[in-house]
Amino acid sequence: MATGRVFGAVLVACLCGAVAADRAGLADRHGTCVALLAETLDGDAAADACLTLARANALGDGHVARILTDDAADNHTDDHTDDHGHGDDHGDDHGDDAHGDDDAHGAHAGHHEKHERPYEALIYMSAALMIGAATLYVISRFLEGVPYTMAVFILGVVLALAHHGSQERLGVYSRSLKLWEHINPELLLYSFMPILLFGDAMQLNLHLFYTKMRQCITLAGPGVLLASFVTAFFAKHCLPYDWKWWNCCVFGSITAATDPVAVVALLNALGASPGLTMAITGESLFNDGTAMVLFYLFMSLAEGEGRYIAGPGDPAGYGSIARFFLKMVLGGIGLGFAFGFAALVCLQLARRKYDETATTLQITVTVGVAYLSFYVADSLCGCSGVLSTVFAAL
C-alpha cells in the first residue's frame, strides 16, 4: 500500500505542474517556427524547409507541420507555373497530388508517433518509486520533522517543471512523463483506488472501528455534505466566476473529501489516542464514497437532467434522488458483503500451513476481490464502488 501511495503522490504532483506548462510551451514552439518560416518562405527553399520540418517533427505537433508543408508546396507550385508557363490544370493536378501525398505521410507519421513505444510509461513509474523510496529514507534518518507526503509532492512539482523547462528534451524521461500526462482518468481511478481502499480497510482494528462507527458515519455522511455546501457557498460568493449554484455544489463535492495520511502519521508520532486516530482513519474510508455520490447527484442537477440518477434525458425528482441514494449506499454495502463472503470462503479453502501454493492463491484472491468489488459495483451495477470495496475488506 505504501508503494502505491508513493507513486500516486509523485504522479499527481507531476500532472498538476504539467498541464499549464504543456499548453503554453506548445503555443510558443508553434509561434517561433511559423515566424522563422515566414522569413524564408520563397520557392524551393521554403518547400524543402517545410518538408524537412515536418519529417523531423520539430514543432511537436504533426498537424501544424502538415499545414505548413501544404502551404509551402502550394507556393512552390504557383511559382513553378508562372516561371515555365505550364497550364493551370497541370499545376493544380500537381499541387493536389503533392497535397495528398504530404497529408498521407503526415498522418502516418503522426499515427506512428502517437503509438510509438508505449512501454516507456514504465520508466517514469520506476523513477517515481525510486525517488519516493529515497525521500522516505532521507526523511526517516535525517529529517524526521518533515511531512513525507508534502516532500514527495514538492519533488513531483520540481520534476514537472524540469520536464517542461527543458522543452521536453530529457529523452526517455520526457516521453514517459508525456504518456502519463495523457492517461485516461478512469483508468487511473480504477488502478489505484480499489487497492488503496482495500489495504487500508484490512489494516483496521475491527473492535476499535466498531466502537467508533457512529463517529465515522457522522463525519463521512452529514460532515461531508455540510463541507460540500459550505465550499459551494464560498465558491458562489467569493470566487471570481459566474458559476450557477449547482455548479458550485459540484466543485464543493470534489473538494469535500479529505485524505488524512499526513494527519494520521502525525497523530501516531505524537502518541495520540487510538480512538481519535481510528475516527479519522475510518472517516477517510467512507468520505470518498459520499463525495462520489454527491458528485453524481450535483452533476445531474447542474446539467438539468437525471443522467446519473433517473436516466438520460429524465428530470431528477425527489423520488429518483431517494432511490439513487439507496441504490448507491445499500447496493454498494450489499455487494461488498457478498464479495467479502465469497473471498472468505476461497481463503478458507486455500488455507494450508507451509504451502507456497496456498500463499499464492490467498494473495491472488485478495487482490482480485479488491478490483472486482469496485468494478462490478461502480461500472456494472451503478452502486458505490468505494463502499463495496471497503465492506468487502471488512
Residue 358 neighbours by CB distance under 10 Å: 15
Instruction: Give pLDDT, residue 116.
Output: 66
User: Which burial class, exposed, middle or buried, applies to 57 when counting CB atoms under 10 A from its CB (0-12, 13-18, 19+)?
Assistant: middle
Dihedral angle sign, alpha carbons of residues 194, 196, 202, 207:
negative
Residue range 175-187, pLDDT digits in tens: 888 888 888 888 8
Compute the average pLDDT of residues 245-268.
84
pLDDT of 292 over the 90 cut: no
DSSP letters along 49-102, please? Answer: HHHHHHHHTTTS-HHHHHHHHHHHHHHHHHHHHHHHT--HHHHHHHHHHHHHHH
Instruction: Please give the model's pTM, rounded to 2 decimal places.
Output: 0.63
Q: How far, in Å, are 261, 278, 279, 353 from residue 272 at the CA level?
A: 15, 10, 12, 37
Q: Is the pLDDT of residue 6 over 70?
A: no
* Helix boundaries (H) for 238-273: 245-256, 261-270
- Range picked from 10-14, 75-79, 216-220 for highest mean pLDDT: 216-220
Q: Where are the beta strands (DSSP E) in 197-324?
A: none
Residue-level pLDDT at 305: 58
Q: Give the span between the Cα atoms of 315 and 326, in whole angstroms.
A: 18
What per-residue confidence (pLDDT) applies to 220?
Answer: 87
pLDDT tens figures, 298-321: 888 887 755 556 555 555 567 777
Question: Residue 317: its pLDDT value, please?
Answer: 65
Pairwise CA distance, residues 376 & 370, whole Å: 11
Residue 88: pLDDT band by 50, 70, 90 thresholds?
very low
> In this structure, what C-alpha cell is assigned to residue 104?
498521407
Residue 308 sits at φ, ψ, to 5 deg, of -95, -10
Q: Is the pLDDT of residue 22 over 50?
A: no
How big is the CA angle at 149 (ends 287 and 156), to the nearest 5 degrees?
Answer: 115
Taken in order 203, 207, 212, 218, the sign of the CA dihedral is positive
Residue 48 identity? D
Quick: pLDDT tens for 262-280. 777 777 777 788 888 888 8
Q: Could you tell me the end-to-end alpha-carbon distance of the chain, in angstroms, rounded to an integer?
A: 16
Q: Look at 90-94, 194-198, 235-239 and tell me which has the smallest mean pLDDT.
A: 90-94
The answer to whether 286 touches 387, Cβ cutoff 8 Å, is yes
Q: 261 burial class (0-12, 13-18, 19+ CB within 10 angstroms)? A: middle
Angle subtended at Cα 321 by Cα 319 and Cα 325, rounded to the nearest 5 degrees: 120
